[in-house]
Amino acid sequence: QVQLVESGGGSVQPGGSLKLSCAVSGDRSYWNCVGWFRQAPGKEREGVANIFTDNGNPYYFESMKGRFTISQDNAKRTFYLDINNLQPDDTARYYCGTAPLYRGNCPKTAAGYQNWGQGTQVTVSS
């Protein structure tokens, strides 16, 4: 069993920043990727970034490059997503998930992740 708890969301004005956290506990055996995804009302869950926990190698989805930074504290089993220059389009619920490598890479779709947290809400408005 793997448990994930996201935190750090909130309401911010455009241009603001947030640091989201994902604390992972439980069985460490079957995953070495952590992915951040987001889902806005009425939309599908979309990938933001993922990280290969063995070496910290990050991957950013094309539309997310530049304002998002994924990082990890492996000793604490906590994974972070820094978001800068937040815009109203970033309003969504942000989720983290765990997965094993798939064909040498962290999965690029939500379907590749077996365990999820409850999410943390990010709302950007003036």
Q: Coil, strand, or helix at residue 126? A: coil
Q: How far is CA 74 from CA 5, 14, 51, 83, in A?
A: 15, 31, 11, 20
How confident is residue 51, by pLDDT bands cut at 50, 70 and 90? very high
For the purposes of burial, counting CB atoms within 10 Å of the CB of 66, is it exposed (0-12), middle (13-18) or buried (19 or more)?
exposed
Instruction: Tell how strand 46-52 and strand 18-26 pair up.
Output: unpaired
The pLDDT mean for the chain works out to 96
Listed in sequence order, the residues at least 6 apart from 40 whose beta carbon sits closer than 8 Å to its beta carbon are 91, 92, 93
Supply the pLDDT for residue 65.
Answer: 86
pLDDT digits (tens, 9 = 90+) for 9-45: 999 999 999 999 999 999 988 899 999 999 999 999 9
AA identity, residue 59: Y
Which structure tokens are listed for 69? 């930074």
Q: Is 61 in contact with 48 (CB distance < 8 Å)? A: yes
Supply the pLDDT for residue 29.
Answer: 87
Supply the pLDDT for residue 121.
Answer: 98
Give the position of tokens 């604490």: 76
109 DSSP 8-state letter: S
Side-chain half-sphere CA neighbours of 92 within 13 A: 21
